[in-house]
Amino acid sequence: MKRILITAAVLLGTLSALEARPINAYYDLIRPNGHPRSDAIHNADLEDCYQQTGQSRYRLDGPAFQACMRAHGYRYMWGRYTHRPW
C-alpha cells in the first residue's frame, strides 16, 4: 500500500511538471519607438479580445484573436508553449 501511494505521488508530481503554458508576443503598433502602453491597457485589450472571440487562455492565439488584437493596435509576433521550471 505504501508503494502505491508513493508511486501515485511521484506520477502526480511529474504530470504537473509537464504542464505547458502558452506565451504569445505582440508588437505595439501605436507606440513602436516610444514608451509602451501600460500593462493595464494591454490587459484590458487582451480581456476584450478573449470575450469577443471566446479563445481559451490555455492555447496559442488563433487567427480571430490575432485580428482582434490588430484592431487594438498590436501585431502578433510569435507564440510558443513553455514548461514550468518546477
Cα(52)–Cα(49) distance, integer angstroms: 5
Looking at residue 52, the DSSP 8-state letter turns out to be: H
Q: What is the pLDDT of residues 21-62, one digit of tens each?
A: 899 999 999 987 777 888 999 999 999 999 999 999 989 999
**Angle, CA 24 vertex, CA 26 and CA 19 arms, to 5°:** 170
Pairing between strand 20-28 and 74-83?
A: antiparallel
Task: Give the number of other Cβ atoms within 10 Å of residue 4's Cβ.
Answer: 8
Entry pTM: 0.72
List the chain domain ranges: 2-83
